[in-house]
């Protein structure tokens, strides 16, 4: 039994239903009152079963190509507002609050 409650019998039943029905309809037919089964759950368990049985996707498949890890831009705390998104201005005893123009009030810069 799979950790999510998929038994071999349910997987076989899902395979048979998928020959006739769509993934959504198959999920609806396999759902119970306690547990709703979605289209993605059905497709996922069938694909994992297919892989377990020895299937390997074709090398030229866009889904099998490993995507390169692009360097992610790191967010830094805004040096102007110190990460709070606004600046307190004091002028002649009056205190005003102004939105930070450097980070556009987000508190973070790239």
Handedness of CA 72, 77, 80, 81 (dihedral sign): positive
For residue 5, what pLDDT is reported?
79
Q: For residue 7, is pLDDT > 80?
A: yes
| Paired strand residues for 89 | 96
Q: Are the CB atoms for 13 and 42 separated by under 8 Å?
A: no
What would the mean pLDDT of 60-71 be, rounded to a whole number? Answer: 71
User: What's this model's pTM, rounded to 2 decimal places?
Assistant: 0.53
11 Cβ neighbours under 8 A, 6+ residues apart:
45, 46, 49
**DSSP result, 49-87:** HHHHTT----TT-TTTSPPP-PPPPPPEE-TTTTTSSEE
């Amino acid at each position: 039994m799979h950790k999510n409650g998929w038994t071999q019998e349910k997987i076989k039943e899902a395979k048979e239903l998928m020959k006739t029905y769509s993934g959504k309809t198959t999920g609806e037919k396999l759902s119970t009152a306690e547990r709703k089964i979605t289209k993605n759950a059905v497709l996922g368990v069938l694909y994992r079963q297919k892989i377990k049985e020895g299937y390997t996707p074709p090398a030229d498949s866009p889904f099998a190509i490993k995507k390169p890890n692009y360097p992610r831009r790191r967010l830094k705390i805004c040096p102007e507002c110190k990460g709070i998104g606004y600046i307190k201005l004091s002028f002649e005893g009056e205190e005003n609050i102004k939105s930070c123009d450097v980070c556009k009030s987000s508190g973070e810069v790239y």
